[in-house]
Chain A
């Protein structure tokens, strides 16, 4: 956690609810992207995100670990598995007809061969998103935790309940498969063969 994150957490624990809003927004991109990609844009991604925070809030008073985002990812991991096993969405009384995310995976433009490097990065990103569908869930999760959340392998191993060697092996296989799947895009992006 950096200084700003610590400050927001301290302010929240002192009673400042706005600081919680800042933390939620601050972690939104990596956490929400992780949930969306692990659930393949399922309609209950919003509800899972919401539930992660509600469960975290209950225990924030006693939070002592250094890595808040790692803890949030761990709660998200448990919820995603739980939901997949029960195969029904979390429904809160306040929930809308949350179908706006259903097609998220297909909503982002999928154009290729953009002229600027930024556009090329986005194109590559959309291809990575599609290619990730071939990965087994446990490999996809390791890849996303590293790439989206910058979660250390030691923490990933704890989240998945495996040894650090297994977490490393999963990442390695995910990278090899994605490189193979994306070799054309990779060549376009870097000008090199894989």
Chain B
């Protein structure tokens, strides 16, 4: 095992993402390699320095916090009750009893619709039977679209940057199928 292989493992060890199957190999290499021990120690030094510096950042502007809290209040006024997420509703529908109930309601609605269509003289059913969206749902969709757009711009940015200082090193410099599957 060489240092080129080990250094990404050291990085993954610091983030708690190193697969258990690699830990013994890494420990063995570190025991015999001063350069890699030094590399690992330098990560600690850089972290300590970066965090000491970050402790000196200015306090948050009071107006910024006020704006954030006001935006939250405004959102609550639009939707005063905490809205269950769509995934939670999907979870509910997955329970058998509710699924049967939903199916029964659907069948009833379908039967009612057919009845109405067969009796044009009956009560007129408006076309607007589509479920109304809440403001929060519209905002979710808007945010999803925005994030998709931003992800696309991010791809432009990162693709041109490459993974190396001069762009000459292949992207899979640290290619290790085990890391991709276990991390």
Contact = CB atoms under 8 A, between A and B. Distances in A.
Interface of A: 12-15, 17, 20-21, 24-25, 28-30, 32-33, 36, 46, 49-50, 53-55, 57-59, 61-62, 64, 77-79, 81-82, 85, 92, 94, 96, 98, 100-101, 104, 108, 118, 121-122, 124-129, 136-138, 143-144, 146-148, 150, 152-154, 160-166, 168-173, 175, 177-179, 186, 189-190, 192, 194
A81 B150 CA distance: 8
Contacts of A154: 17, 183
Contacts of A118: 52
A144 B96 CA distance: 47
Contact of B12 (A36, A54, A108, A168): A168
Contacts of B16: 152
B176 A124 contact: no
B47 to A, nearest CB: 5
Contact of B45 (A15, A54, A100, A190): A190
A179 B45 CA distance: 10
B58 A161 contact: no
B15 A152 contact: yes
Contact of B42 (A81, A104, A173, A175): A175
Interface in B126-164: 136, 139-140, 143, 146-147, 150-151, 153-155, 157-158, 161, 163-164
Contacts of B71: 53-54, 57
Contacts of B151: 78, 161
A168 B174 contact: yes
A57 B67 contact: no
Interface in B9-43: 11-12, 14-17, 38-39, 41-43
B133 to A, nearest CB: 14
B73 A17 contact: yes
Contacts of B179: 164-165
Nearest to B39: A175
Contacts of B7: 172
B15 A20 contact: no
Contact of B43 (A24, A29, A175): A175
Contact of B165 (A21, A61, A136, A143): A136
A114 B8 CA distance: 33
A77 B158 CA distance: 12
Interface of B: 7-8, 11-12, 14-17, 38-39, 41-43, 45-58, 60-61, 63-73, 75-76, 82-87, 136, 139-140, 143, 146-147, 150-151, 153-155, 157-158, 161, 163-165, 169, 171-176, 179-180, 183
A177 to B, nearest CB: 7
11 contacts: A24-B60, A49-B60, A54-B68, A57-B71, A61-B84, A152-B15, A152-B16, A152-B17, A165-B175, A166-B163, A189-B45
Given A50-B64, A92-B67, 11 more contacts: A17-B76, A24-B65, A29-B55, A49-B64, A128-B49, A146-B14, A162-B158, A169-B164, A172-B8, A175-B42, A177-B165
Nearest to A165: B174
A32 B49 contact: no
Given A24-B65, A122-B52, A136-B161, A172 B143 contact: no
Nearest to B75: A57
B140 A28 contact: no
